[in-house]
């Protein structure tokens, strides 16, 4: 499974428990269609129609229709709602543009342009980025002195393994 597949699968699973922010692709398209129907004044709007009009706008970008947060003026820059399937690319580009930035920097970057990227998605991406995993510092465990290994002979992989053994509460290495 590629990182993208794992990411999307994980978010899809997460959506089943917590729908906040995340929109599967089919719902995303349906929202656009319902919104367009609600905006058509020749039909009566239901409560759902009013709700959608209150919350969203459809932005025509060439041949594609984008779902955005309703703006108070046309000059306001759009905040996009993306589907779960699009989230990987969006989070990835924020991660790269911030130079493998951490959670908060990525969220700050994403919030300028997107309306529905949950913190969970950012944390998930970070945990799947191999480059970040290599240089990730383990959180300090009480009572464990983590000494940095300065010699070049030790690869960063070796360092992670060493800390792992020390902080494992009942791992096989602590017989
Ligand atoms: Zn990274």
Main-chain phi, psi angles of 133, to 5 degrees: -60, -35
Interval 112-121: pLDDT, tens? 999 999 999 9
CA of 100 to the centre of ligand 1 (A): 4
- In the predicted model, is pLDDT for residue 141 greater than 80? no
- Shared domain check, 169 and 106: no
Verify that 84 and 149 share a domain, yes or no: no
Number of domains the chain contains: 2
CA of 43 to the centre of ligand 1 (A): 49
Q: Are residues 79 and 160 in the same domain?
A: no
pLDDT of 156 higher than 60: no
Query: Mean pLDDT over residues 133-159, rounded?
Result: 60
CATH code for position 53: 1.10.340.70
| Cβ partners under 8 Å of residue 12, min gap 6 | 24, 84
The verdict on 52 and 106 lying in the same domain is yes
CA 126 to ligand 1 centroid distance, Å: 6
The larger pLDDT score, comparing residue 175 to residue 75, is at 75
Write the DSSP symbol of residue 74: T
Distance 130 CA to ligand 1 centre (A): 7
Q: How far is the CA of 72 from the centre of ligand 1 (A)?
A: 36
Q: Phi/psi zone of residue 99: left (φ > 0), alpha (ψ -120 to 50 degrees), beta? A: left
Torsion on CA atoms 46, 61, 113, 76, rounded to nearest 10: -70
Residue 143 has pLDDT above 90, yes or no: no
Full domain range(s) for residue 8: 3-133
- Do residue 89 and residue 155 come from a single domain? no
Model pLDDT for residues 82-113, shown as the tens digit of each residue: 999 999 999 999 999 999 999 999 999 999 99
């Amino acid at each position: 499974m590629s990182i993208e597949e794992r990411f999307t699968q994980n978010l899809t699973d997460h959506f089943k428990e917590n729908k906040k922010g995340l929109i599967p692709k089919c719902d995303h398209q349906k929202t656009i269609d319902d919104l367009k129907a609600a905006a058509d004044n020749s039909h009566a709007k239901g409560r759902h129609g009013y709700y959608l009009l209150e919350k969203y706008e459809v932005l025509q970008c060439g041949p594609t229709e984008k779902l955005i947060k309703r703006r108070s003026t046309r000059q306001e820059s759009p905040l996009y709602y993306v589907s779960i399937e699009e989230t990987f690319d969006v989070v990835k580009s924020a991660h790269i543009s911030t130079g493998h930035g951490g959670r908060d920097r990525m969220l700050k970057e994403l919030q300028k342009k997107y309306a529905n990227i949950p913190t969970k998605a950012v944390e998930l991406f970070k945990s799947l980025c191999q480059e970040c995993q290599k240089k990730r510092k383990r959180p300090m465990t009480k009572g464990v002195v983590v000494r940095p290994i300065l010699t070049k002979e030790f690869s960063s992989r070796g360092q992670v393994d060493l800390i792992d053994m020390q902080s494992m509460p009942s791992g096989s290495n602590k017989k």
